[in-house]
Chains A and B, each alone.
Chain A
Amino acid sequence: MHITSKNAFSSKMDKTITLRRGLDLRIEGTVPAESTAKPCSTTEIALVPDDFPGFTPKLAVKEGDNVTAGQALMYDKLHEDVKLVSPIAGKVTHVVRGDRRKIMRVVVTAETTGAPAIKTDADTDNATDVKKAIMHSGLWAYMRQRPYDIVPDTEATPVNIFVTAFDSAPLAPSLTNLVKGKGKYTAAGLKALASLTSGKVYVSLPYGCGLELPAEVERVTVKGPHPAGNAGVQAAAIAPVNKGEIIWTLDIVTATRIGTMLLDGTTDWSTTVAVTGPEVNHPCLITTTIGASLKPLVDGNLKDTDRHLRIISGNVLTGAKESIDGFLRFPYRQITVIAEGDDVDEFMGWASMSPGKMSESRSFPSRLFHNKLFRPDARLNGGRRAMIMSGEYDKVMPMDILPEYLIKAILARDIDRMEALGIYEVAPEDFALCEYVDPSKLELQKIVREGLDYLRKELE
């Protein structure tokens, strides 16, 4: 069965989604294909509540408290069952607060406390039990729901669950490699998820991937450029979110963690991180703990230059800017280092014909070299303008969404129009490529995030 990105239907056979719109950025610093992960122990971790939209953090611990692995550090003020738990045993050393005492992050320093990690017992056949177990383990916050792209509402039943088994973002590691050898757990996790939805669990795989999946889930093959690996693209092609419906999205790593937790009782908080980017000497894979401090992960591996560097926890499209003293951020699997670019003076950059300029515009000679890799920096490469060019976003948006019109509706805070134009179907990450190609340099992901938050506030 073959479906293009515009059509949506379901069938009993394996599905193939072919994306024609999208874009693979060609950036230097990818991890060599045959790399194996080196372990790197961490002494400090931090959890950042901002990584979990929809989660209103309330502290469960104080500075100086001892915690065991699996113990809650924060819980959601509105749904107390949803919590963020410490992945390691140790002492809470800092609670960093920002404006109006907003919790920015909670830092835990590793210590051997002797206390065993918190266990979760669950009957994997009972949906209520499974749900409770996921919440108890702290993994609930690792899933997202649409509409609003937030931590799922604990009361609602999703009409479908979309799991992505690959990350197509620039320089991203292969997710199927991360769950290799854990087939038992992946299967258990997916089966458990299947009991939580009234519809189906769809798992998207890259073309030619042989990952085995349990019979309870639907296998979806996605061909094409980024955002092929985004769960939202899969949902858009198979069953877009209608008003009043709820779907969940997550990645295969989280599904596998759920499986491990259900089968073994303990949650596996280790993670494999790809250290990537043009300013990294030797791109590599490192096994560490979620929320780990970045310094040990990149120390000695950064290029020795006078230029300012930008360390991104995540990929260049959706990652979070962190300093060298920062921490690994959700979804805890990639670090990208690029030049900041605030220390260069480029004379008449707009006229440049340099082949080193990364662009999708054919006015740059770099478009002629199809395999060339680039070393972009973090500059906007222009000034912020009104939306002038038309159709630029459409080229990289493989969903049946009119991005310009939806963005304008959001900016106008016009709720009816946002609904009509499909805001329930999208997450900020779906607009990342639009934001990249935009000649007017608008902050599209921020606009969409604010729009979603506004809508939720008005309607709930």
Chain B
Amino acid sequence: MLRKYLDKIKPNFEPGGKLQAFRSVFDGFETFLYTPRSTSASGVHVHDSIDSKRVMIIVVLALMPCLFFGMYNTAYQNFTACGITDYTFWQAMAYGFLAILPRIVVTYAVGLGIEFIVAQWRGEEIQEGFLVTGILVPLICPITTPLWMLAVATAFSVIFVKEVFGGTGFNIFNVALVTRAFLFFAYPASMSGDKAFIASEPICGLGGYVPDGFSGATPLGMIANGSTEFLSQAGSTWQAFLGLIPGSFGETSTLCILIGAALLLLTGIASWRIMLSVFIGGLVMGWIANTFPSDLYPASTMSPIDQLVYGGFAFAAVFMATDPVTAARTGIGKYIYGFLVGVIAILIRVYNNGYPEGAMLAVLLMNALAPLIDYCVVQANINRRMRRARSMD
């Protein structure tokens, strides 16, 4: 029935139809609903059933545990700050849902809107890349980020980081992370400090106004300011692993991130090489810092395990560093790339008190260096071939 309806309205979107300006939008929806009938015209006659839609959707699915946990945690932080104790699980989820929904809607509307326009303009099919970016952006931003800032930052990075380079598959930097970095550098007051990470207002009668004097600083924020007492509290690592701590919406719970990681690795969508080596890099750098603790750099007193469970490190390792477009593409390159992401993330976190968290900058820096790593690996292949040719002479 739906198919018949689509076939009926399709002529409107073909060249010459009255809605031809929306052809790419129609195509996008049509191919989303029905697998295209196009069959192979050259080369192999059968194709693997995997396509980029499935790849992207699996990443979105892998993000769901983080999304749901973020909803609960947002409510939990607000309710705790306001001293509300008698709430049900569903009330908390409702609060979190209402808090995040406008952010998701705004990011998708802005990002997909630009994608649709560009696809129409270029006469191409809609690409699925933004399906993932659109959910990543709300998850890595503080819940208090104003909607207009989200809109501006998303538009900036979709246009200047992705589309000007040619669209999905051609970007040098991770689009979601540039959105976050744009917000971080353009609106630092809204993006850090002890007010940013806790929803401060009631929504639809749920939750309350957070009292003025309440400090909702993230653990890493507190450490950067020199207060490390809570690290020695019993169960603090466990608390951080579960994720009931202030932080960006979806990246507090290492447990949920690991559930997502398990899905990505079981389906083979994300590179285990990168994921593993980011964690190893983080552990190594965390261990080095911890072996030479310094009062100048309070974060150096954290244990290597704590380094992995606090802040955005785990999220960056699982969802950001593994972005296939911006990561290293060669097998060996992936190990090097991942390891350096891990090392640099902890390096920035520990030895630069101005930035309580280094994961975002580490991934962006390595995005820039990934082509260099690949260049060296490719050059090794080329040199092997040249040596072989010379030895024949």
Contacts and interface: CB of A to CB of B under 8 A. Distances in A.
Contact of A360 (B45, B50, B127, B381): B50
Given A242-B388, A361-B268, A404-B329, A351 B49 contact: no
Contacts of B127: 385-386
Interface in B260-308: 266-269, 271
A268 interface: no
Given A376-B46, A382-B51, A386-B167, A341 B325 contact: no
**Interface residues of A toward B: which range?**
35 or more
A437 interface: yes
B58 interface: yes
Nearest to A388: B169
A435 interface: yes
Interface of B: 2-3, 31-55, 57-58, 125, 127, 129, 166-170, 266-269, 271, 324-325, 327-331, 334, 378, 381-382, 384-386, 388-389, 392
Given A344-B37, A383-B31, A389-B324, A357 B43 contact: no
Interface in A424-448: 428, 432, 435-441, 443-446
Given A380-B40, A394-B331, A435-B44, A364 B168 contact: no
A379 B388 contact: no
Question: Which of B32, B38, B46, B169 has the most chain A CB atoms closer than 10 A to its own CB?
Answer: B46
10 contacts: A336-B45, A350-B53, A352-B49, A363-B50, A383-B53, A388-B55, A390-B330, A391-B331, A439-B54, A446-B43
Contact of A381 (B47, B170, B392): B47
A390 B40 CA distance: 22
Contact of B51 (A310, A340, A421, A441): A441
B324 A390 contact: yes
Nearest to A310: B45
A171 B187 CA distance: 62
Contacts of A386: 127, 166-170
Contacts of B49: 349, 352, 357-359, 361, 364, 381
Interface string A393-412: 01000001010110000000
A118 B114 CA distance: 69
Interface of A: 8, 25, 27, 240, 242-245, 310, 312, 316-319, 321, 336, 338, 340-352, 357-364, 376-391, 394, 400, 402, 404-405, 420-422, 428, 432, 435-441, 443-446
Given A240-B388, A243-B389, A391-B329, A338 B267 contact: no
A363 B388 contact: no
Contacts of A25: 46
A242 B331 contact: no
A345 B4 CA distance: 11
Contact of A380 (B38, B57, B330): B38
Contacts of A341: 37, 39
B272 to A, nearest CB: 11
Contacts of B51: 350, 380-383, 439, 441
Q: Which of A242, A343, A388 has the most CB of B within 10 A?
A: A388
Looking at chain B's contact residues, the main secondary structure is loop
A194 B382 CA distance: 31
Given A364-B49, A404-B329, A420 B382 contact: yes
A340 to B, nearest CB: 6
Given A321-B45, A363-B268, A380-B47, A242 B389 contact: yes
A443 B43 contact: yes
A359 B48 CA distance: 5
A382 B385 CA distance: 36
Given A421-B378, A422-B381, 12 more contacts: A342-B38, A350-B54, A351-B54, A358-B49, A360-B48, A379-B47, A382-B36, A383-B51, A388-B55, A421-B385, A436-B46, A439-B52
A394 B334 CA distance: 13
Contact of B34 (A346, A380, A385): A346
Contact of B46 (A351, A378, A422): A378
Contacts of B381: 400, 402, 421-422
Contacts of A445: 42-44
A236 to B, nearest CB: 11
A424 to B, nearest CB: 9
Nearest to B126: A383
Contact of B39 (A378, A383, A389, A443): A378
A79 B89 CA distance: 82
A317 B125 CA distance: 26
Contacts of B266: 362
Contact of B43 (A347, A358, A432): A432
A404 B33 CA distance: 31
Contact of A383 (B36, B271, B324, B386): B36
Contacts of A342: 37-39
B52 A438 contact: no
Contact of A385 (B47, B48, B169, B378): B169
B84 to A, nearest CB: 39
Contacts of A432: 43-44
B44 A383 contact: no
Contacts of B48: 358-361, 381, 436-439
Nearest to B27: A383
A377 B43 contact: no
A263 B129 CA distance: 63
A260 to B, nearest CB: 32
B33 A348 contact: yes
B367 to A, nearest CB: 14
Given A321-B45, A338-B46, A379-B37, A421 B329 contact: no
Nearest to A366: B49
A382 B384 CA distance: 37
A388 B325 contact: yes
A361 B267 contact: yes
Contacts of A338: 45-46
Nearest to A437: B48
B392 A444 contact: no
